[in-house]
Amino acid sequence: MDILSIIVPCYNEEEMLPITFESLRNKLSDLISKGKISPDSFLLFVDDGSKDKTWELIENENKIHKEVRGLKLAGNVGHQFALTAGLNFAKDICDMSISIDADLQDDIEVFDEMVDLYHEGNDIVYGVRNKRKTDTFFKRFTAQSFYKLMNFFGAKTIYNHADFRLMSKRALEQFYKYKEENLYIRGIVPLIGYKTACVYYDRKVRVAGESKYPLKKMLALAIEGITSFSVKPIRYIILLGVISVFLSMAALIYALISFIFLTVEPGWTSLIVSIWFLGGVQLISIGLIGEYIGKIYMEVKGRPRYNIDKYIE
């Protein structure tokens, strides 16, 4: 039977963990007793350099319950890297993994459906939020603008899906090949390209502790998401340059008409035209250089270029 690992990144979660341990352990034994997963399935808590008692709690829980495992990172590296550490670590010792935040805002009751979909041959199952009525208006607004912006700039992401998902062993192995330093997991997973499915759930409020994602970190994630996936912002510079050059043509006509029919300061005509023209040329040049830098950037990421799904002979 297939071993499931549940991966939980934790940063200063001492208030939340006692609840999380219990809920996840119960859910795990529920799935085991239903015969959906192997009795060797386990929970993997990744301590992302917490400053509170998070690691002590994980250690204690591990002493009492054999299905609870811990991975302690040497310092705080942030949610995306902590989760990656867990996923990469688990890939060799499980058949599938589910990643979920420690605050259990995502519904653990959909684990059943995720595992069923895995058995039906899906390699990736996305947890997708139905509505966001429990989030504050501010969080909802910023999150929604974020998805829109991301799509506008060309990073394909699943709408209303955060890092709550099931991944099969081979999906984990492929994910492992994305060694990029500028990491945005939500953008990478769709690139893996195996058969995928979605499960829908309502997101709950955080019951204990506070959000570790203040606006500052959210903005950082948004910028990371855009700049690590697309060179579109650079393209817009070129576009801006082209528009300026066209405007300089218009300025030329306007200036010539003024020069002929109105009295203007000497030199004004040539100045106004050159400002627009040169500005446009400069923007195009910067954009062109940017294009090459963008290419270098994508090149140094060293991403796998394809992923084989099946081989028959």
Binding site for Mg ion (CB under 5 A): 101, 103, 105
212 binds, among Mg ion, ligand UDP, none (CB under 5 to 8 A by kind): ligand UDP
Footprint (CB under 6 A) of ligand UDP, residues 61-90: 76, 78-79, 82
Stretch that binds ligand UDP, among 7-15, 230-238, 245-253, 268-276 (CB under 6 A): 7-15
CB 171 within 8 A of CB 192: yes
Question: What pairs with residue 129 in β-bridges?
Answer: 201
Instruction: Output the smallest distance, CB 224 to Mg ion, in A.
Output: 18
Question: What pairs with residue 7 in β-bridges?
Answer: 44, 99
Instruction: Output the smallest distance, CB 221 to ligand UDP, in A.
Output: 9
CB 298 within 8 A of CB 231: yes
With CB under 6 A, what is the number of residues at the site for ligand UDP?
16
Nearer to ligand UDP, 20 or 248 (CB): 20
Instruction: Output the smallest distance, CB 238 to ligand UDP, in A.
Output: 35
Selected from 4, 6, 7, 9, the binder of ligand UDP by CB under 6 A is 9
CB 233 within 8 A of CB 226: yes
Q: Helices 268-300 and 232-261 meet at what angle, rounded to 10?
A: 170
The CA distance from 204 to 131, in Å, is 10
According to the binding rule CB under 6 A, does residue 213 interact with ligand UDP?
A: yes
C-alpha pair distances (Å), 133 with each of 90, 141, 243:
34, 11, 42
Which x/- pattern over 171-210 shows residues binding ligand UDP (rule: CB under 6 A)?
A: ----------------------------------------
Nearer to ligand UDP, 200 or 277 (CB): 200
CA-angle at 281, arms to 275 and 284, nearest 5°: 135
C-alpha pair distances (Å), 117 with each of 42, 202, 225, 300:
19, 19, 28, 35
Binding site for ligand UDP (CB under 6 A): 9-11, 13, 48, 76, 78-79, 82, 101-103, 105, 211-213
